[in-house]
A and B are shown apart, each in its own frame.
Chain A
Amino acid sequence: MKPAAFEYFRPRTLEETLEILSRYEPEAKVLAGGQSLIPLMNFRLAQPGYLVDIGGLKDLADIRAENGSLTIGAMARHSAIEDSAVVQAKAPLLLEATQQVGHRTIRNRGTIGGSLAHADPSAEIPAVLAALDGEVVAAGPDGERVISASELFLTVCTTTLTPTEVLTQVRLPATGPRTGCAFTELSRRHGDWAIVGVAATLSLGENDECEEARIALAGAGQVPLRCREAEGLLNGRVPVAEQIREAAESCEAAAEPLDDLHASAHYKRTMVRVLVERALTTALSRAQRGQ
């Protein structure tokens, strides 16, 4: 199918972008990489009357590390993030997750901001933001505001961004030397959408005890699911296989996936347990090796 007709704008500044979004609210939609939006438009599942292409906003693609955090412009393409030495050093969880976003061709166009604003609960990047307690910056007619991961995702493909706002920046805490990270997903073929995915980090203290565990699930609910009960089972104890298994079982119980064409909810929950166990085991060994 071909998309329904729309008016197209390619603003040169953020101010211009916000002005257009306000003028045509709520029918105006931001176009970033287009790898999620354009398929929807081709199916006519989305029919925005006005498309605001922010691909011309060059300032929005920076990747910077400063003061213990990583700041990434919303228009940074997944491929740039994948190739970034800064991301490899400071956010290995993001790197590993990004490598599993679709295929390289998709990653050449898709953006980190777009993935978060699209908020597919099965997607990799929202789970990473949730796991790391990252935040995004949204620019709107009334100025900028910071939105935490827990506040951003409302339900399937719905965020708390308003129609007149643009997500401009992503902020993640930098990963420390005694933290191991792992992102793993189950899909029918390499590069397919995840059936379930797990983002996990384990930070070890002086006595090799788990100082902080973080686990977020993709494909296990309407939004990325942070497994705080499982994290609590690990925090403060030296993680051994048995505890990792317990944590995985807790995640299995907490997950709320739906039946679909690719897998039943029961299967997905079981796979959550398997993948959490794998991810935590990998994260632990990376933490012990100093990543």
Chain B
Amino acid sequence: MRHKIKLTVNGTAYERSVEPRRLLTDFLREDLGLIGTHVGCEHGVCGACTLLMDGESVRSCLTFAVQADGAEIVTIEGLSKNGELTPLQQAFWENHGLQCGFCTPGMLVCATELLRRNPNPSEEEITGTLAGVLCRCTGYRQIIESVVAAVAAGGATGTR
């Protein structure tokens, strides 16, 4: 039996009908065409599927779309507005904080949440937060440096 859900994604309201077993990841990617949220493991260990749900970071592969009824979702596509990079994204760009980009949505969403909670984290706090998102390319150093650079630049979160 399908359930009707109403939710806002990146500022746009949607109303759709979903099977209960439809993961939020697949709903966003396949039903809404928002493929920025990545599917890496489907069991909550890689972090590539991380997005913001009602302001908090959530692993969308561990969430059914039906649970997002009434929620406000922000995916990687919604972090920036009008194609302008946020200061955090700009820092990733300038500090080579990505190679293939698969983990990058998870890294950016988690870093965004961190900087909103704590605009001045230590490197240890940054590392501890990002430890939940796995990267196969970079060895993490440039990712951490990107967040450090964003913090130093002061306009850390830049969410508009």
- A-to-B contact residues, CB < 8 Å: 1-8, 10, 34-35, 38-39, 41-43, 51, 53, 55, 79, 102-106, 108-109, 189-191
Cα–Cα distance between A87 and B94 once the two chains are bound (Å): 41
Of all chain A residues, which has the CB nearest B132?
Answer: A103
A34–B57 CA distance with the chains assembled, in angstroms = 14
Least Cβ distance of A190 to chain B in Å?
A: 5
Residue B7 CB within 8 A of the other chain: no
**Most chain A CB within a 10 A radius of its CB, from B3, B47, B132:** B132
B44 to chain A, nearest CB (A): 5
Q: Across the interface, which residues of A come within 8 angstroms of B23, CB to CB?
A: 2-3, 42
Contacts A3-B21, A39-B62, A42-B61 given; does A104 touch B67 at CB 8 Å: no
**Would you call A35 and B128 a contact (CB within 8 A)?**
no
Residues of B contacting A108 with CB < 8 Å?
Answer: 56-58
Say whether chain B's binding surface is mostly helix, strand, loop, or mixed: mixed
* CB contact between B42 and one of A1, A53, A190 (< 8 Å): that residue: A1
**A4:B110 contact, CB within 8 angstroms:** no
Q: Is the CB of B21 within 8 A of A5?
A: yes
Check A7 against B62 for contact (C-beta < 8 Å).
Answer: no
Residues of B within 8 A of A43 (CB): 43
Query: Does any Cβ of A come within 8 Å of B38's Cβ?
Result: no
Residues in A whose Cβ lies below 8 Å from that of B113? 104-105
Complex Cα distance, B110 from A38, in Å, reads 21
Question: Could you tell me if B129 and A104 are in contact, using CB atoms closer than 8 angstroms?
Answer: yes
A6 pairs with B20, CB closer than 8 A = yes
Q: Are B21 and A6 in contact (CB under 8 A)?
A: yes
